[in-house]
Structure 1
Amino acid sequence: MAVDGKWNLTIKTPMGDQTGVLTLKQDGDALTGEMSGPQGAAPIENGRVEGDTLKWDAKVTQPMPITLEFAGKEEGGNLSGDVKLGAFGNSTFTGVPA
């Protein structure tokens, strides 16, 4: 699984699509990086690789404080998966190489 690098990220939210850039670095089962977008940047937390699934959290403060919980996979050179939007339920995300 080649996930190192920058990804153009799109998150489906109740307020419409939110876009940004996700930077990932995998070291064994550890996953580090940062998410950035119009509302600022947030380091990814609790990043890990479980089998073929990537998992990480990101605490964003704009437009409101919320912890996003991601679980996804790399397939065909792209990322896709599910994201928990705190009290706003569950949604999906996609990522293409930047």
Structure 2
Amino acid sequence: MPDISPEGIWNLVIATPIGEQRAVLELFLRDGVLCGVARDQRHGEEVTLADLTLDGDRLTWAQSIRKPIRLNLTFDVTVSVDELTGRSKAGRLPSSKVTGHRATPDAGA
């Protein structure tokens, strides 16, 4: 299996009990270390990802959000070339399905 590089921009959809939540995930290398931020344009929030780990095609991280409600989230997803699938968890709440697609550059860019 070829190495999967998760670097880039990902459009995420999280199917939560309070409805679909959308975010843009940006993953990048800084000094050889995988880093990332998540942006929620609807709620105007940007958070740095914590404990970001790539093990083969499995990507995990944690993040704290304040909107639409304050939660500490953990994510566990499988990354392919341009898709990711998995689950997010917020404390004792049921886990939520996560899907994502790698953003493609605008055709006119």
Q: TM-score, normalised by structure 2?
A: 0.80
Question: Which residue of structure 2 aligns with residue 25 of structure 1?
Answer: 28
Question: Which residue of structure 1 aligns with residue 83 of structure 2?
Answer: 78
The amino acid of 2:73's aligned partner reads L
Structure 1 runs of 4+ aligned residues shifted over 3 Å read none
Q: Judge conservation of contact 2:75–2:87 (CA < 8 Å) in 1.
A: yes
Q: Which runs of 5+ in 2 are unaligned?
A: 104-109
Greater percentage in strand: 1
Corresponding residue pairs, total: 97
Q: Judge conservation of contact 2:16–2:96 (CA < 8 Å) in 1.
A: yes
- Between 1:86-95 and 1:10-19, the stretch displaced more is 86-95
Q: Which runs of 5+ in 1 are unaligned?
A: none
Instruction: Give the number of the structure whose alpha-carbon radius of gyration is greater.
Output: 2
CA RMSD of aligned residues (A): 1.7
1:52 to 51, 54, 57: 57
Provide the identity percentage: 30
